[in-house]
Structure 1
Amino acid sequence: MSDGRLPAHLEASSLLRRAEAERGFGMILHKGDADRGSLLLLIASRGVHCACLERALGPTGYAWQAVGPAAGVDAQSLAEWTSKRVRFDEDLWLIELDIPDPQRFIAETTSEG
């Protein structure tokens, strides 16, 4: 791959393992293209939505950024938003991570780039 990214399926697996290592769990809600699919993370803590993160191409390369509904949004609104995203991009990987310390996870993930 010319952009240096891992294949999407490998990155998805590593995110699930990272959540488990932090005493949380993860689930793939939609599998996208195994190699080139984009990743969208739904971050929660004890079932309460905290944030959505998406890796996007910016001026300095790929970086994670916050997108979508705000923290605490109801489940139906979040489901409607994610459904639209999957319909728009069938190659998208939709991954839910429920972790004990979501703010630390988000800060570490967005600073990694």
Structure 2
Amino acid sequence: MTKDRLPAHLEAAAIMRRAEATGGFAMVLRKGDPDRGALTLLLNERGEFRGILERELGPDFTYEWTFKKAEESQGSDSLRELIARRQRFDADSWLIELDIAEPERFIAETIHSS
């Protein structure tokens, strides 16, 4: 049984509003399919890259948020490669950059709300 999911454009807008409501900055770097695009969030804190938060299809066919720390995707070249791979694999995907205080809290709240 699959879990119902909001259209991607609504979820993207909600995530961006949530980041901005706490004084953060949010920007769409790549707009994907409004209904079914996957979401990838680049998380920064005061301009310093902290990691990537992605919603992925799990083995039980439900979507789950997963987090990869900055150390796991070290360097701007590998980050660009990762983004390029995601876009080649899923042309409908969204890429959103967030610069927020306490990204760990944002991650925890996002993962536990799904």
Q: TM-score, normalised by structure 1?
A: 0.86
| 1:16 partner SS | helix
Matches within 5 A, 1:45-64: 45-58=45-58, 59=60, 61-64=62-65
Aligned to 2:4: 4
Structure 2 residue runs of 5 or longer lacking an equivalent are: none
- Displacement of 1:77: 2.5
| Identity score, percent | 51
The answer to whether residue 14 in structure 2 is matched with residue 14 in structure 1 is: yes
- Displacement of 1:67: 3.9
Letter paired with 2:105: R
Structure 1 segments (4+ residues) deviating >3 Å: none
Aligned to 2:40: 40
Give the paired residue count: 112
Query: Structure 1 stretch 22-31 or stretch 56-65: which is displaced more?
Result: 56-65
Q: 1:5 to 1:72 in 2, by over 3 A?
A: closer
Listed one character per residue, the Cα deviations across residues 50-89 of structure 1 (whole Å, up to 9, x for unaligned) are 1111112323732211247536833332122212211221
Q: 1:69 to 1:102 in 2, by over 3 A?
A: closer
| 1:70 partner SS | helix
Q: Contact conserved, 2:50 with 2:69, CA < 8 A, in 1?
A: no
Q: TM-score, normalised by structure 2?
A: 0.85
CA separation in 2, counterparts of 1:14 and 1:21? 10
Structure 1 residue runs of 5 or longer lacking an equivalent are: none
CA separation in 1, counterparts of 2:48 and 2:109? 20
